[in-house]
Amino acid sequence: MRQLSMQRDAERSQLISARYGVLVDTDIGDDIDDAMALALILQSPEIDLWGITTVFGNTQLRASLALYLLHAYGREDVCVAAGAQMPIQPRQRPSGVPQAAIIDTQVVLPAISTLSGPELIIEAALSHRGQLTLLCLGPLTNVATALRLEPDLFMAIKRIVMVGGTSSFPFPDWNIRSDARAAQIVLGAGIPITMLGWNITTRCQLRASDVTRLRNNHARQTQFLKQLLEIWKRHRPRWQADLPYLHDAVAVVALGAPELLEFQEMTARVIGRGIFKGFMAPRILDGPLVQAAIGIQAGAAMEWITRRLLSPSHAQTAQFLDDARHGIE
């Protein structure tokens, strides 16, 4: 009996120590993958979501969309701040946030934080020194601005997990080329960085069988995702495939199931000027070191993502973790 109890305590300790305190910086609202990643986070018991900041273009509308998603998942407690609208080094025009069409204006949502995006990043990092994992799902303007505002910030952030760049041939992916200067600042800041490049995230595309499973699941949250998918299909550029890539969801896989990815330390230089402005050149040039994903078990990762998105709310699991934490304290 005593042995069983000790085993349970050990399991609880393991679960709690594996829990990540995360702030998500996102350009939610254009492509669907940011929303899918946020939904996945809210379904992941090992992730404790401390806040959301929005970046790029109409960040107020993006923040409203994030709040609406949190409402759908019953997580109105999470603080959302609108961040930088203009990149430090502008390259392309932001879109009109088409996914915000899902917002029911009759629903009363919590207010957007009075802090700016960079201010919320600073507050979260300094109030949880050494514990904050920043999940960066868009251009890196907010994080770069926060690093400029608070010189000690790089010491306080535990890790950045970013979607962007490449670990194969030089390439100008959307997040890096949308603000190349911000990417240079963040990569060079001295914070441990896990990088999920374009060559890895494009391996994870929603499958027709996943859509069928979404359609056949009648949970409120799943219906919300299904609606988002319908909006995405109406607004996707003609050159895009019929089913979306889940780039940003791969960042959640890196936290929840890192064994499905293979990583390698490499240099990652971002070109800031000339015809190659916005390209990331990995390995071949001197530059900041990152842990870059070089491989993914794509089928297993998609299965992990889909199962989590379709699983019943993890609220009970989170409650278990909280109870366990109080039990140990």
- Interatomic CA distance for residues 54 and 43, integer angstroms: 20
CB of residue 163 to Ca ion, shortest distance in Å: 6
Instruction: Assess 271 for contact with Ca ion (CB under 5 A).
Output: no
> Considering beta carbons, is residue 44 or 150 the nearer one to Ca ion?
44
CB of residue 314 to Ca ion, shortest distance in Å: 23
**Residue span 40-79 as binding mask against Ca ion, x where in contact by CB under 5 A, dash where not:** ----------------------------------------
Span interacting with Ca ion, options 24-32, 92-100, 146-154, 259-267, rule CB under 5 A: 24-32
Contact 171, 85 (CB under 8 A): no
- By CB under 5 A, the residues from 224 to 263 that bind Ca ion are 248
Nearest Cα neighbor of 308 from 214, 181, 187, 188 is: 214
Distance of CA 126 to the CA centre of its chain: 20
- Interatomic CA distance for residues 204 and 254, integer angstroms: 13
Instruction: Assess 164 for contact with Ca ion (CB under 5 A).
Output: no
Span interacting with Ca ion, options 29-37, 44-52, 188-196, 228-236, rule CB under 5 A: 29-37
Span interacting with Ca ion, options 130-138, 233-241, 251-259, 306-314, rule CB under 5 A: 130-138
Binding Ca ion (rule: CB under 5 A), the pick from 25, 27, 150, 210 is: 27
CB of residue 237 to Ca ion, shortest distance in Å: 15
Nearest Cα neighbor of 154 from 120, 126, 127, 183 is: 126
> Considering beta carbons, is residue 39 or 137 the nearer one to Ca ion?
137
CB of residue 136 to Ca ion, shortest distance in Å: 9
Residue with tokens 């390698």: 264
Nearest Cα neighbor of 183 from 200, 202, 166 is: 166
From residue 314, give the alpha-carbon distance in Å to each of 41, 44, 319: 10, 7, 9
Contact 22, 133 (CB under 8 A): yes
- By CB under 5 A, the residues from 78 to 107 that bind Ca ion are none
Instruction: Assess 137 for contact with Ca ion (CB under 5 A).
Output: yes
First to last CA, the chain: 22
| Total binding residues toward Ca ion, as defined by CB under 5 A | 5
> Considering beta carbons, is residue 138 or 197 the nearer one to Ca ion?
138
Distance of CA 103 to the CA centre of its chain: 21
- Measure the CA dihedral 133/134/137/142, to 10°: 180
Interface contacts to Ca ion, rule CB under 5 A: 27, 34, 137-138, 248
